[in-house]
Amino acid sequence: MGTYVLLLKYHSSGLVEAKKDPKFLLGVNESIERWEAKVLDSFHLLGEYDQCTIIEAPDNFKAYRATLAQELSTTAQTEILPAIDLPLFERLISQSLKTGGPHTWQIQGWARWARRMMRWYAFTRWEKEYFQPFNVTGQEKIQNIDGPCIVVGNHASHLDQYALLAALPEHIRSNIYFGAAADRWFLKGRKEITLQPWYQSLVMGLYPIQRGGGSKTLDYPKWLLDQGCNLMLFPEGTRSRGKQLAKFKHGVSILALEKKVPVIPIYMTGLKAIRPPGTKEMVPGPVTSHILDPIFFDYYTEVPEATNTIFQAMNAKHQRVLEHGDDS
C-alpha cells in the first residue's frame, strides 16, 4: 500500500459552497474512496493551500491520480504527492537497493525437500493458530489436475497465501511458486535470515516481480510452467480495500493462454477479520477456502475475454458473500 498527500486550494466557488455547508469539505473523501483508497487524516491549512488529506491507496492508484485530480479540479486546484514514512525511508537509504533472484535452483529436488521440511515453520503453524476453524470446499474438483496450473485467489489480507496453500492437495502444493514484489521481499543487505532473498526462494517458494517491469515480469513464471511447476497469483495485483473485487490484471490470462494450462480459482473468506488492513495484531477466526471449477481456455480465447472469465467466476462467489455473509 502506498501513501499519498493530497493538497487542495479551493476556487472561489468552492469556498462559497464550504461556507454554506462545511460538510462540503468532506466531499473529497467520497471521490478518493471510489478508487479504493482510504483517508487516514485531513487538515485545514493556514497557508498557500486550504486542505491537506493523507491517503493510503493500493499500487494501482498511481494510474488514477490524474483522473482524480481532474474530477476535483472543478472546485479546487490539486496536488497529489506520493509519500514514504521516515523510518522506512531511513532504512531504504541505509541499505542496498539491489535485489536478488530469481533462483532457478528453487525447483530442484533438494530445494523442494527443504521447503517441505520448513513448511510447518513458514506456513502451517500460523494456519493452526489463527484459522479456527479452517474449512476447504471443492477439493475434489482438482484431484485429477496433474500438470502445471495457475492457482488464483481474491486478495484481502497478508494471510491469503497461507489459506491458498493449505487448501491445495499435496501434488499441487509441493510444486507451487508465488510471485512477490522484488523491492519488498528480495532486497539484498538485510540482516534477518528470514528476509534474505535466498530464504524467500528456498523456504517460502517465492520469486521476484519487478514493479513496472512490463512483459519481462512474465519471463520467469513462463519458465516455471515450462518446467512443470505450478504458480499462485493474485489477479488483483494488490490487496483490495473496498467492498468490491479490484479490477483483474491480464498476467494470469497471458500465462494460461500461452502455456495452455488451467486456472484454479479459489475464493477465501474470513481472513480480513483475522488481520484487518493497517494492523499487525491477529485474532483467531473462521476461514474457508472455496475451490471453484477449474477454467480451461479454448485455443482461440483472447486475453481480455480470459481475464473477464476468471473475474466473473470469482465475482459470482464474492457477490453472494456480500449479500449473505461468509457462511453463504
Judge whether residue 17 has pLDDT over 80. Answer: no
Q: What is the pLDDT of residue 70?
A: 67
Bond from prior residue into 277 cis (ω within 30 degrees of 0): no
Q: Could you tell me if 271 and 160 are in contact, meaning their C-beta atoms sit under 8 angstroms apart? A: yes
Mean pLDDT over 23-36 rounds to 71
pLDDT of residue 224: 98
29 pLDDT band (50/70/90 cuts)? confident
Rounded Cα distance between 281 and 168, Å, is 26
Give the model's pLDDT for residue 259. Answer: 96
Residue 140: band (very low, low, confident or very high) from pLDDT cuts 50, 70, 90 = very high
Interval 54-113: pLDDT, tens: 888 766 566 566 667 766 776 778 888 888 878 767 766 666 568 888 999 999 999 999
* Among the ranges given (18-32, 127-141, 251-265, 296-310), the one the predictor scored with the smallest mean pLDDT: 18-32
Cell of 110: 533438494
Q: Which of 9-23, 108-122, 189-203, 247-261 has the lowest mean pLDDT?
A: 9-23
Per-residue pLDDT, averaged over 299-315, amounts to 95
Angle at 116 between CA 111 and CA 118, to 5 degrees: 95
φ/ψ of 276, rounded to 5, equals -60, 150
pLDDT of residue 290: 96
Contact assessment for residue 28 and residue 207, using Cβ atoms and an 8 Å cutoff = no
User: Confidence band (pLDDT; 50, 70, 90) for 164?
Assistant: very high
More confident residue, 41 or 115: 115
Q: CA angle, corner 76, sides to 73 and 80, nearest 5? A: 75
Average pLDDT of every residue of the chain: 87
Domains within the chain, CATH numbers bracketed: 2-83 (3.30.70.920), 104-324 (3.40.1130.10)
pLDDT tens for 206-260 read 999 876 666 788 999 999 999 999 999 999 887 776 788 888 999 999 999 999 9
Length of the chain: 328
Handedness of CA 240, 242, 247, 248 (dihedral sign): positive
The pLDDT, as a whole number, for residue 78 is 83
**pLDDT above 90: percentage of residues in the chain:** 50
Q: What is the pTM of this model?
A: 0.73
pLDDT on residue 90:
72
Among residues 178, 182, 207, 211, the alpha carbon closest in space to that of 59 is found at 211
